[in-house]
Amino acid sequence: MNKLGHHGGGAEVVPGRRAFLWYAPSWTRFSLLSPLTRVGIGIFFNIAAYLVPFSLNIVLLASLLILMHLSRVKWKTMWFIWVGNAILLASFLVSYGIFDNKGIHVIFEWWLIRVTVENLASGFVLWVRMMTTIFGTLFILTVCTDNDLLMSLRLLNIPHFLSMIVAFTFRGMQLFFDDMFAIVEAQKSRGLDLDSLSVFQKFKWFVALVVPLFVLEFRKMEETANSADSRGYSLHGGKKRTDYKLEEAKLHRIDYLILSFLMVLLVYMILNSFLPLGFNLLPF
């Protein structure tokens, strides 16, 4: 029996938390870093994807996948990402086939679609950049909780009311989905058979639900604002607020090192992209 009282199997049980649409580990190696550093790593990849040449982009994407693996994310639980990736690639390739007719080396041609080696290459390059951006965002969502995202805003000394807006948005989204699922379950218990409806009918049904749901959520947010006010929250100055959790999220030496390194790298990439040729410090 292992520490959590499970018998056999051999698989390690990793305590998880609900991330956006999947379960992420509660603790990862990256949890030792400040939330700002974790967010910074994800943002670095998002920006760098559009600044570097294709060969480096492959390296970036591979690095991101390794980082995701190090964060102990269960790839099986993210099957929808893989399905989405496949659909995205196919759509890019078809789009390039339809709209970009400049290629010379034709592989396949039918009606509007003209698949050339050049089209495929362009589509693939764009897809790799998109994947780097998507996985960069997924990395942030995997290694950062909602609270971490708020803490990283506060570490940047962003005015508190802006981080409150972000917190309210997160809370609002949670309440929205909870209420939506509750209504769907209630309607199902009253005989609604969603599975038997066509895609168009399902869409119509959900759209009819959205307006009253939004009205309900706005009302709830108003009550939340009253709750904040009744606990002394003052938007227009007033006493200086203490930040209870900021101490835990403060940057340490390792965070400064990582962030400095990433910033230097980013500045180099920007200069390399936008300044005239001849600036290249490195041969790539």
Partner 1 sequence: MSISVRDLWWKYGEEKDAPWILKGVNLDVKEGEFVVITGPNESGKTTLCLCLNALIPYNFLGGFKGHVRVAGMDTRDHKISDIAPKVGMVFQDPDCQFITLSVDTEVAFGPENFGLSIDEITERVDWALRAVRMEAYKYKPPRALSGGQKQRVAIAAALAMRPDVLVLDEPTSNLDPVGKAEVLEIISELRKEFKLTAIIVEHNVEDCVAFADRFVLMYDGNIEFSGPPEEFFKHEKKLKERWVRLPQVTELSHLMMKNEAFDSKNIYLTLNEAYESIDQMFKRRQKLGRKKKGN
Nearer to partner 1, 55 or 242 (CB): 242
Q: Judged by CB, which is closer to partner 1: 30, or 96?
A: 30
Q: Does residue 191 touch partner 1 according to CB under 8 A?
A: no
First to last CA, the chain: 53
167's CB contacts (< 8 A; 6+ apart) are 146, 150
Both tokens of 168, joined, read: 């309210």
170 sits near partner 1 (criterion: CB under 8 A):
yes
**Stretch of residues binding partner 1 (CB under 8 A), selected from 63-71, 121-129, 237-245, 251-259:** 237-245
Among residues 19, 52, 97, 146, the one that binds partner 1 under rule CB under 8 A = 146
Stretch near partner 1 under the rule CB under 8 A, chosen from 114-122, 183-191, 198-206, 226-234: 226-234
171 binds partner 1 (CB under 8 A): yes
* Residue 246 near residue 155 (C-beta atoms within 8 A): yes
How far is it, in rounded angstroms, from Cα 42 to Cα 34? 13
Contacting range for partner 1; rule: CB under 8 A; set: 37-45, 50-58, 173-181, 273-281: 173-181
Within 10 A of 179 (CB to CB), how many other CB atoms are there? 16
Out of 156, 229, 271, 275, the residue judged to bind partner 1 by CB under 8 A:
229
47 backbone φψ class: left, alpha, beta (φ>0; ψ -120 to 50) = alpha
Residue 180 found at the interface with partner 1 (CB under 8 A): no
Match 């949670």 to its residue by tokens: 174
3-state DSSP assignment of residue 113: strand
Looking at residue 18, what DSSP letter applies?
E
Instruction: Work out which of 2, 6, 13, 17 binds partner 1, going by CB under 8 A.
Output: 17
Among 43, 128, 225, 266, contact with partner 1 (rule: CB under 8 A): 225
How many CA atoms lie less than 13 Å away from 111 in the CB half-sphere? 1
From candidates 54, 243, 260, 267, binder to partner 1 by CB under 8 A: 243
Nearest to 165 by CA among 151, 155, 150: 150
Q: Tell whether residue 169 is a contact of partner 1 (CB under 8 A).
A: no
Binding site for partner 1 (CB under 8 A): 17-18, 145-147, 150, 164, 167-168, 170-171, 174-175, 178, 220, 223-234, 238-245, 247
